[in-house]
Structure 1
């Protein structure tokens, strides 16, 4: 079973996913997660500055950043995506977020089919804030228990149909198959992984507050077969006509249980 790690500030825990981003985050007892979306997306460098300013305004350290949502002009090659990730991790390292056991910040990074940005931009971000039940300094590994007090806010990072630990692009599920059957296989695979990650975080799948699907393909035919059986249609699916960030991938999803959301200038 995967092991959760506490963030630098011990305000959230994360499920390791690799150096570019974690697989997901969950608020530790005494904290909750807030999502803030930019009214006008900002280039990544300016976005980091705006995130830092917002955190200062709310009395939070930069290490409170726990998730990010990006938009990019078009899908990268595998090597090009690695170059972007290296710069991204460099900034998070300067913020004091990256440690030996990895990068705690969850992320999605997708490419709009219509009106794409000229360069990668910040669309939204998540951060932790204390709740009235904060118990600073008393958080231990046992706080990851499902019986832990306080809100269980969590964010599941964007995930596409490439099986972890397999060669790329050979490990892409239903590679090159854009038929209904191919998309069903992709959606089922991604949903299975996200549900498993939700359980590993100690989150409650039934408590999701938002579920975002990123694909340029029509998802209507998948609603009854893939989304309804998992109890997702009552949320009202957010379908973004976007491509995943790496060429040949077709279907990505992220999800969250966050009760406080803002839109900021």
Structure 2
């Protein structure tokens, strides 16, 4: 079930306080994705988001998705503390109400040349466009199942990085992407971009788990990075965005 965030002109999949499961632009609007040439530290990134969005004559509430890069994977408690800090700006912008967060997000940790501090890689916002077709951004997800248990208790094939373990993780995460797109009535055939985040070889399951189900229709971008929580090994996100640029 999706909810409407009318102040931002998009729908979202309710999830947890730090992010939603995904967003889709409302009729008459499209999502624009803007990537930084180099990751920008958190506070500076929010400032640059605001400047860019306001220059496009859009309210800050139109901010609908972002992609983060962190120095290293967090513990469960460390991740929660980071998220409490992250949502403060969203609350100031009138997006986060203290309970529900409509903004989709990915947060991963580059294995090589990581940033010195949590930084933004990209952001997305909605803007009006006459005759706009559908656009969406699905939040990143690793192989942890939903629930209130610890990550260790709800992670698929926990600490298993054998070929079979990686294969099961890839299958599970691809299924999460499909379910989330399905909430908006979309599927792999609609995606214009798919990203994978792992430091492990998944070639042995690439064709079966991803190509054959249509997940690589527009290719697949592999980032040599870890998911944001210790002992998660594989993450994906996907999107349908027709307007993208680098600044």
Query: What is the TM-score when the length of structure 1 is the normalising length?
Result: 0.90
Q: Matched residues in 1 for 2:21 and 2:109: separation?
A: 20
**Candidates 191, 196, 200, aligned match of 2:179:** 196
- Partners of 1:203 and 1:52 lie apart in 2 by 30
Which of residues 141, 148, 164 is equivalent to 1:159?
141
Q: Decide whether the 8 Å contact of 1:214 with 1:239 is kept in 2.
A: yes
CA displacement at 1:233 relative to structure 2: 2.7
Give the stretch that moved more between structures: 216-225 or 83-92.
216-225
Structure 2 partner of 1:90: 88
Deviation per residue, 1:112-165 (Å, 9 max, x gap): 0000000000000000010114xxxxxxxxxxxxxxxx4210000000001101
Which residue of 1 is the match for residue 169 of structure 2? 186
Q: Determine if contact 1:8/1:96 at 8 Å carries over to the other structure.
A: no
Match of 1:234 among 199, 217, 229: 217
Distance 2:88 2:10 in 1: 21
The secondary structure found in structure 2 opposite 1:34 is: strand
Q: Deviations over 1:195-253 (max 9, x none)?
A: 01101122243110000000010122221121112112331110001000001100100
2:154 is paired with a residue whose SS is coil
Hey, what's the Cα distance between the residues in 1 that align with 2:17 and 2:116? 26
Q: Which moved more, 1:38-47 or 1:158-167?
A: 158-167
Equivalent-residue separation in structure 2 for 1:101 and 1:87 (angstroms): 14
The CA distance in 1 between the partners of 2:148 and 2:139, in whole Å, is: 19
How do residues 3-152 of structure 1 correspond to structure 2 at under 5 angstroms? Answer: 4-99=2-97, 102-133=100-131, 150-152=132-134
The separation in 2 between residues aligned to 1:251 and 1:15, in whole angstroms, is 21
Q: Distance in 2 between matches of 1:170 and 1:204?
A: 29
Is the 2:91–2:98 contact (alpha carbons within 8 Å) kept by the matching residues of 1?
Answer: no
Gaps of 5+ in 2: none
Distance 1:110 1:233 in 2: 21
Q: How does 1:203-214 map onto structure 2 within 5 Å?
A: 203-214=186-197
Gaps of 5+ in 1: 134-149
Cα distance in 2 for residues equivalent to 1:172 and 1:119: 26
Partners of 1:86 and 1:201 lie apart in 2 by 28
Distance 1:203 1:228 in 2: 17
Runs of 4+ deviating beyond 3 Å: none
Shift of 1:8: 4.4
- 218-227 or 37-46: bigger deviation: 218-227
1:76 deviation in Å? 0.5
CA RMSD of aligned residues (A): 1.2
